[in-house]
Amino acid sequence: MNANDAAVIIGAYEHPGRELPDKSLAQIHAEVALGAVADAGLTLDDVDGFFCGHDAPGYGGGWVTMAEYLGLRNLTYMDSTESGGASPIYHVSHAAAAIAAGKCSVALITLAGKPRTGVQPGGGGPARPEDAFEMAMYTGAGLVSTYALAAQRHMYEFGTTSEQLAEIKVAASIHASHNPNAFLQKVMTVEDVVNSPLVADPLHRADCCVVTDGGGAVVVVSREVARTLKRQPVRIMGQGEAGKLTNGGRVDLTYTPAVWSGPRAFQQAGVSVQDVDYVSVYDSFTITVLEILEDLGFCEKGQGGRFVMDGALVAPHGRLPFNTDGGGLANNHPAHRGGITKIIEAVRQLRGEANPGVQVPDCEIALVHGNGGDLGTRMRAATMILGRESA
């Protein structure tokens, strides 16, 4: 059975908190898990598949400890695939495949983090084989600076400007102003963004994502289970996964793995960019969004700066509404990983449950894209096409 025919997303929940000093990381995972199964009309006793990344604390990539903490006694399938911010999107794809193979029928996917008020797991582990060769030159170059290198190169190659990058943050801030839970509530202008302090030239503070506690969860079920529930399902139409390597040091900073994951997802879904009504695009930085939109085919390579101008990304009536919850740039980036919130907002849009001020009219097809890794070195990515389905 085709995985896309076998499974649907039936539950989704985002933690409302952005600063959670009094909650443990395991507690946040539990709260989003309970929220998602309740949204689906299920309980934790119904869950027989559990998926989490290394943001989950404990043994076995987190899933062993969290399964015990949650009291998941009926598990027949577990997955702790680790792909950074793309992990939850990988997990949805893997859950659908597991359901199609008869390995489970109710899959729970969780993500949570406390980078704002606590310690975030997942950054340690054994040395990577490349460390002995790369770290001596990488020392002092933080994550922001490697993304800044990509932005500088894009500007050099294609004439992209800081003002064009700022348009992406402006759209995110407009959307966040409709979201009572968003970390940043103020609508920003292009001038506000380019006048914010430089962090790593040419990226300003406002070009960077927020740092928040919180998390989210989704529930993927078989169609047989979905038919017993009252919640509106969301179709999983297509998925694509890809990685971008360093090519022996000859790294092109102007593209992401979306150049491969996107076409694979579109081909499997049987749709094109012209059919997409809404996009949930990974937005660790403004340059991340711009390159992903190019790589997914919404505009030609090098034309992203022009594409995002004049309110193109602003919901509900922009040319390509994006991240209508405010995204990682203004709403929530729990665990330094934005993949789960991208899925959740796409589900809201397809159900017609986004905030009325940003709900895309007749939203039928949504694209979700997540990244993991570093645009300046090596990355992995996942693209997923979701569709509206009647209850």
Distance CA 310, CA 143 (A): 29
Question: What is the amino acid identity at position 112?
Answer: A
Report residue 152's pLDDT band, with 50, 70 and 90 as the boundaries: very high
CA distance 124 to 131: 13
Q: Is the pLDDT of residue 60 over 90?
A: no
CA distance 164 to 140: 28
- CA distances (Å), 312 to each of 172, 206, 306, 321, in order? 12, 19, 10, 7
Domains of the chain: 1-116+211-231 (3.40.47.10), 140-209+234-385 (3.40.47.10)
Question: For residue 295, what is the enclosing H or E element?
Answer: helix 286-296
Separation CA 103–CA 334 (nearest Å): 30
pTM to 2 decimals?
A: 0.94
Nearest to 145, CA basis, from 211, 208, 210: 208
**Range from 32-41, 125-134, 232-241, 326-335 carrying the lowest mean pLDDT:** 125-134
pLDDT at residue 125 greater than cutoff 50: no
pLDDT tens by residue, 193-219:
999 999 999 999 999 999 999 999 999
Q: Would the pLDDT of 124 be above 50?
A: no
**Ramachandran category for residue 296: left, alpha or beta (phi over 0 → left; psi -120 to 50 → alpha):** alpha
Q: Residue 135's pLDDT band (boundaries 50, 70, 90)? A: low
Instruction: Please answer whether residues 209 and 357 qualify as being in contact, where contact means their C-beta atoms are separated by less than 8 angstroms.
Output: no
Q: Is the pLDDT of residue 377 over 90?
A: no
Strands 365-373 and 77-79: unpaired
Q: Is 108 left (phi over 0), alpha (psi -120 to 50) or beta?
A: beta
Contact residues for 27 (Cβ-Cβ < 8 A; gap 6+): none
> Which band of pLDDT confidence, cut at 50, 70 and 90, is reported for residue 141?
low
Question: Which whole number is the average pLDDT over 126-138?
Answer: 56
Structure tokens at 382: 């996942």
Find residue 106's DSSP bridge partners: 221
Contact (Cβ atoms closer than 8 angstroms) between residue 63 and residue 52: yes
